[in-house]
Amino acid sequence: MDNQFSHFDSRGNAVMVDVTEKEVTERTAVAKGSIIVNKEVLDLIKSGEVTKGDVLGVARVAGIMAIKRTGDLIPMCHPLMLTGSSIDFTIEEAQSKITVTAVAKLYGKTGVEMEALTGATVALLTIYDMCKAVDKNMEITEVYLAKKTGGKSGNYRNPKEK
Closest CA to 116 of 138, 140, 86: 86
Cα separation, 140 vs 124, in Å, equals 7
Evaluate whether 31 touches 142 at the Cβ level (below 8 Å).
no
The b/e string for 81-104 (b: 16+ C-beta within 10 A; e otherwise) is ebeebbbebeeeeeebbbbbbbbb
Rg, C-alpha atoms of the chain: 18
Catalytic annotation, pick one of 2, 9, 72, 129: 129
Active site residue 2: no
Distances (CA, A) of 160 to 108, 121, 143, 151: 27, 18, 11, 22
55 phi, psi to nearest 5 deg: -60, -50
- The residues that are catalytic are 129
